[in-house]
Amino acid sequence: MDILRQTAHRGGKTVTVVTGFLGISLSEKERLAKEMQQACGAGGTVKEGRIEIQGDQRDTVSRILTKAGFRPVLAGG
């Protein structure tokens, strides 16, 4: 599971993207996304099998995923 920061094709806005989920359902992703949004105080969505959270929230997202039993990797810039 990778945590990326992206700005491309987003009008210059930064988005934290979590990809590489294996064996978890859409409802589980939506629950994780909701928890991330509340912890970060930011909007977000589940789209095309990945979670997107507005802003550079990599540290907070990493903590939430670790607490949920995943082993996230900070990737990219």
14-52 per-position pLDDT tens digit = 999 999 988 889 999 999 999 999 999 999 999 998 999
Domain extents for the chain?
2-74
Cα gap 29→38, rounded to integer Å: 14
The architecture CATH gives domain 2-74: 2-Layer Sandwich (3.30)
Residue 50 C-alpha from the chain's centroid: 7
Alpha helix (H) ranges present in the chain?
A: 26-40, 58-67
pTM: 0.88
Mapping DSSP to helix (H, G, I), strand (E, B) and coil, where does residue 13 land? Answer: coil
